[in-house]
Amino acid sequence: MTNEYLCNVQNLFFTYGGKKNNPTLEDVSLQLKKGEILGLVGESGSGKSTLAKVMTGLFKEDSGTVECGKTAMIFQDSYSALNPAKTVEWLLHEVQRLQGVKDKATRQKEILKMLDAVELEEQYLNHYPSELSGGQRQRVMIAMALLSKPEVLIADEPVSALDVTVQKQIVSLLKRLSHKRNLAVLFISHDLRTVYELCNRVIVMKNGKIVEEGAKNALYFNPKEEYTKALLTSAGIDWE
Amino acid sequence: MLSVENLKIEFFDHSLPETAVDDVTFTMGEGEILGIVGESGSGKSLTALSIAGLLNRGDITKSGDIVFNGLNLLHCKRSELRKLQGKDIAMIFQEPMTCLNPVKRIGWQVEEALRVHGEKDKFKLKEEAIKALTDAGLEDAERIYASFPHQLSGGQRQRVMIAAAMISKPKLLIADEPTTALDVTVQAQVIELLRRINREKKTSILFISHDLSLVRQLCQRVLVMKDGKIVEQGEAEDIFANPQEEYTKELIAAIPVVKKPN
Amino acid sequence: MKKTTTNKNFMIGFCMVLAVLVFALAGLVFAPFDPEEMDAASKLAAPSLKHLFGCDNFGRDILSRVQQGTRMTLLIGLGSTAIGAVIGTVLGAVMGYFGGLLDEALMRIIDVLFAIPSILLALIFISLFGTGTFNVILALGFAIVPSFAKMVRTEFMKQREMDYVKAAKLMGAGRGRILFVHILPNVMPTLLNCVLISLNNAVLAEAGMSFLGIGVQPPQASLGRMLSEAQGYLQTAPFYTIFPGLVMIIMLLGFGLMSEGGGLKDAFRRKS
């Protein structure tokens, strides 16, 4: 099992504050392979962000198993996810310091390589997050995530707050990075169009449960569940 | 009905004046739904706010003309403007969380526009409010009338906002990204509601959004804005089928295409 | 436009404080007289070329005593604020970040302490441990702790919810590092303003305590002590009150202007 999947979640249950009667996540199972981009769609309250936090270990599951390779996470609100009091350079050093990379020159070399990978110019190193645009901040966050050398990247609505043209750039960047580094990506979003553009396989969640799961085209053009159909229709997607 | 001519908005809060809206000119007819599309910083919200008369700050200067039914909103007296606000011109916003007062009951907030414009009869107020809530697609209007904002979902709150805006039967409804914070299924319902309002009450709607696919669903005519300027305008279908400007093409290309593989 | 006025206020305040500091420290190098040397012949002598600020009821040179007293007042203000800020920040950070039972318990204690005026708290402390400069610093310092703890706690509770804290956790940063390397810099602007306000309060409180006779003990001078001694000669020798009072006003006004309108935030946050 573990050889085949980078990430294997089985029968996961989770409840906020331990109230057993109304679980936030109910019997969730999913697998992620190397180099795969899995889309997770659902509306607010569906539990998709909670799932991400359990998978990264920010929350502890009530029951079930979560076996994941090394994970890193990028967040929706790049304004809140980058420490406003620190420069980009400090943030990129800090990730590596916490990884135990003691030598400053080594860290600096890695940083320059990473900036190149996320297509951000070197001049932004001494900027504070508030001095960057939304797209640039998102690139910094991706660079930070990748510097911790993850096998699985969990992206919680990473483009929802961005302008459409910037969204497109970030989505294609994620696609390229996943290819080049054989990185598994769990892409969480409420935007079905973006998910279609980026992902190979898609999971639909509602009220803490997985409603439907399938390969992208099968799910988008041959949906089985009423809820999936309703979502597609609302997004103006002609699935019939 | 509404004509905006050479609207220019400048900020003076930094050492150099900054032009946020530059030479914007357009007109809107009775019963029309006009979309303004643009990304952040394009000046679309500022344009909307200045039409609603909500942009009066010491560090901003406005020039040009905004003429609504023969009255120049930019140069008229404040008292004349206030007679229109909430009566002939109403506005709904993006964040249904923050634009309802958390300590007031829904009913009171929906009635407020009528109360401000002189209606005193309590029974009449309540009757109108219930009717507006029902018209906005809220079943169980009696219960919602007595609720507080935090007891409602995001979609319900946005419907309450629409009810509060529509209660005085405005001629122009300005909707500034009214669906951005909502879930897709609720988004679709709110769009449908706006369409119905336009059809049944003949209210003109100025719909502002960064989402071209929504604008395409709802609007007859579209303005595309960038960096404070209108780069392209025309019939919605024409613009989508045959965009003239580079930027419009870019915007359309940015919408991911979901197409059945053959 | 707004920004420039707050910066101007900050600079004016800064200059005032700096002037007071230079004046006080200059006394270490060339005070005209020994501040404790009495000269019976010039009791309550009016300002003259020899004694620029005049002499007090024991014939001591007021200029030298004001210099010494300013140093003392500043020492007490800085010392007690430092104690209050450091202990209060650590307490508040831990309470705000971790929350839970510990926070609950400490919060109740702080609420109780808040109910008692800080000058009364200091008074209790002095009556337990005795007078003396060091004890005054300790007493005022501890009296300041609750207000710092409460302010820092609120700030940390706000910051705790930010995604960058989660991100740091995921990167493997330890609790101490998250608290003091990641979060604290974000609290700094607010904290620094509180330090300035608290400096003001400490200076005033010292004056009050000395006025009551439980602060600095004679023959040492402090601005509060001098004002207290001068009150009997307000009509015969007004200069005795005016000079220490003037220095105190300049100092307080300076701190006040510096902290006003978040001037510090601008001064400490680098602009691009």
Output the CA torsion sign for B65, B70, B74, B76: positive
Contact A80 C169 (CB under 8 A): no
Contact C171 A77 (CB under 8 A): no
Residue C272: the pLDDT is 32
Any bridge partners for residue B227, and if so which? Answer: none
Amino acid type, C184: L
Give the distance from residue A76's alpha carbon to the nearest chain C alpha carbon, in angstroms. 9
Least Cα distance to C265 among C196, C164, C219 occurs for C196
Interchain contact A218–B (C-beta under 8 A)? no
Amino acid type, A55: M
Amino acid type, C109: I
Are B105 and B147 in contact by the 8 Å Cβ rule? The answer is yes
Share of chain B above pLDDT 90, in %: 51
d(CA C128, CA C139): 10
**pLDDT tens digits, B55-69:** 877 778 889 999 999
Residues of A in contact with C159 (CB under 8 A): none
d(CA B198, CA C178): 53
- Count chain A–chain B contacts defined by CB atoms under 8 A: 63
d(CA C151, CA C139): 20
Pairing of strands B2-11, A152-156: unpaired
Token pair of A53 as six digits: 């936090």
> Taking CA B254 as the corner, what is the angle to CA B251 and CA B256, rounded to the nearest 5 degrees?
140
Please name the residues in contact with B227: beta carbons below 8 A apart, sequence gap of 6 or more: B22, B41, B42, B43
- Domains, chain B, ranges and CATH? 1-88+173-252 (3.40.50.300), 97-169 (no CATH)
Residue A40: the pLDDT is 95
Burial of A223 from C-beta contacts in 10 A (0-12 / 13-18 / 19+)? buried
Task: Name the domain count of chain C.
Answer: 1
Interchain contact A187–B (C-beta under 8 A)? no
Could you say which residues from 88 to 107 on chain A have a Cβ atom under 8 Å away from some Cβ of chain B?
Answer: none
Token pair of A24 as six digits: 């936030």
Are A86 and A128 in contact by the 8 Å Cβ rule? The answer is yes
Interchain contact B245–A (C-beta under 8 A)? no
Contact A81 C170 (CB under 8 A): no
Residue C262: the pLDDT is 55
Residue A21: the pLDDT is 67
Report whether pLDDT(B244) > 60: yes
Interchain contact B69–A (C-beta under 8 A)? no
C198 to each of B221, C113, C124, C168, C251, how far by Cα in Å? Answer: 60, 16, 20, 32, 13
Residue C271: the pLDDT is 38
Give the distance from residue C168's alpha carbon to the nearest chain A alpha carbon, in angstroms. 8
Q: How many CB atoms lie within 10 A of CB C4?
A: 10
Least Cα distance to B174 among B25, B44, B9 occurs for B44
Residues of C in contact with B12 (CB under 8 A): 1
Interchain contact C169–A (C-beta under 8 A)? yes
- Mean pLDDT in residue range A166-175: 93
**pLDDT tens digits, B180-226:** 878 888 888 899 999 999 999 999 999 999 888 889 889 999 999 99
Residue A104: the pLDDT is 94
pLDDT tier for residue B102 given thresholds of 50, 70 and 90: confident
- Count chain A–chain C contacts defined by CB atoms under 8 A: 56
Any bridge partners for residue B202, and if so which? Answer: none
Interchain contact B95–A (C-beta under 8 A)? no
Residue with tokens 């209050």: C84
Are B51 and B45 in contact by the 8 Å Cβ rule? The answer is no
Looking at chain C, which subunits does it touch, using at least 3 CB pairs closer than 8 Å as the criterion?
Answer: A, B
Interchain contact A116–B (C-beta under 8 A)? no
Output the CA torsion sign for C234, C240, C242, C244: negative
Could you say which of 1.10.645.10, 3.40.50.300, 3.40.50.1820, 3.50.50.60 is the CATH number of the domain covering A1-70+151-240? 3.40.50.300
Contact C2 B12 (CB under 8 A): no
Please name the residues in contact with A6: beta carbons below 8 A apart, sequence gap of 6 or more: A32, A33, A34, A68, A69, A151, A152, A184
Nearest-CB residue to B258 (from A44, A166, A193)? A193
Give the distance from residue C189's alpha carbon to the nearest chain A alpha carbon, in angstroms. 10
Residues of C in contact with A75 (CB under 8 A): 163, 166-167
Reported as type and span, the H/E element at residue A71 is strand A71-74
- Ordered by start, the domain boundaries in chain A are 1-70+151-240, 83-149
Looking at chain B, which subunits does it touch, using at least 3 CB pairs closer than 8 Å as the criterion?
Answer: A, C
Q: How many CB atoms lie within 10 A of CB C41?
A: 8
The answer to the question of residue C44 being in a domain is no
Least Cα distance to C18 among C199, C251, C198, C194 occurs for C251
Contact C164 A81 (CB under 8 A): yes
If you measure CA to CA, which chain C residue comes closest to A73?
Answer: C167
pLDDT tier for residue A204 given thresholds of 50, 70 and 90: very high
Contact B40 A168 (CB under 8 A): no
Contact A86 C168 (CB under 8 A): no
- Mean pLDDT in residue range B164-177: 92
- Mean pLDDT in residue range A3-32: 84
Are C203 and C136 in contact by the 8 Å Cβ rule? The answer is no
Interchain contact C163–A (C-beta under 8 A)? yes
Mean per-residue pLDDT over chain A, rounded: 91
Residues of B in contact with A237 (CB under 8 A): 258
**pLDDT tens digits, B119-161:** 888 999 999 999 999 999 898 899 999 999 988 888 899 999 9
A182 to each of A149, A176, A178, B176, C224, how far by Cα in Å? Answer: 12, 10, 5, 42, 72
Residues of C in contact with A57 (CB under 8 A): 170
Contact A75 C168 (CB under 8 A): no
d(CA A174, CA A157): 13
Reported as type and span, the H/E element at residue B23 is strand B18-28
If you measure CA to CA, which chain A residue comes closest to B261?
Answer: A217
Least Cα distance to C137 among C34, C263, C46, C222 occurs for C222
Interchain contact A237–B (C-beta under 8 A)? yes
Interchain contact A75–C (C-beta under 8 A)? yes
Any bridge partners for residue B89, and if so which? Answer: B85, B172
- b/e per residue A56-88 (b: at least 16 CB within 10 A): beebebeebebebeebbbbbbbbbbbbbebbbb
Residues of B in contact with C2 (CB under 8 A): 13
Between A16-30, A183-197, A203-217, C175-189, the lowest mean confidence (pLDDT) is in A16-30
Give the distance from residue B95's alpha carbon to the nearest chain C alpha carbon, in angstroms. 20
If you measure CA to CA, which chain A residue comes closest to C164?
Answer: A81
Could you say which residues from 144 to 203 on chain A have a Cβ atom under 8 Å away from some Cβ of chain C?
Answer: 144, 148
Least Cα distance to B102 among B67, B147, B65, B159 occurs for B147
Beta sheet of B2-11, edge-to-edge order? B18-28, B2-11, B60-68, B71-72
Least Cα distance to B37 among B224, B262, B228 occurs for B224
Contact B40 A167 (CB under 8 A): no
Output the CA torsion sign for A113, A118, A122, A125: negative
Q: B243 or C32: which carries more pLDDT confidence?
A: B243
- Mean pLDDT in residue range A218-231: 93
Long-range contacts of C171-178 (CB under 8 A, 24+ apart): C171/A94, C171/A95, C171/A98, C171/A99, C171/A144, C171/A148, C172/A98, C172/A99, C172/A148, C173/A94, C173/A98, C175/C97, C178/C97
Mean per-residue pLDDT over chain B, rounded: 89
Instruction: Indicate which CATH number applies to the domain containing C226.
Output: 1.10.3720.10
Share of chain A above pLDDT 70, in %: 97
The parts of chain C modelled with pLDDT lower than 70 are 1-6, 261-272
The answer to the question of residue C248 being in a domain is yes
d(CA A39, CA A155): 10
User: Domain range for residue C105?
Assistant: 2-28+53-268
d(CA A150, CA A72): 6
What DSSP designation does A157 have?
S
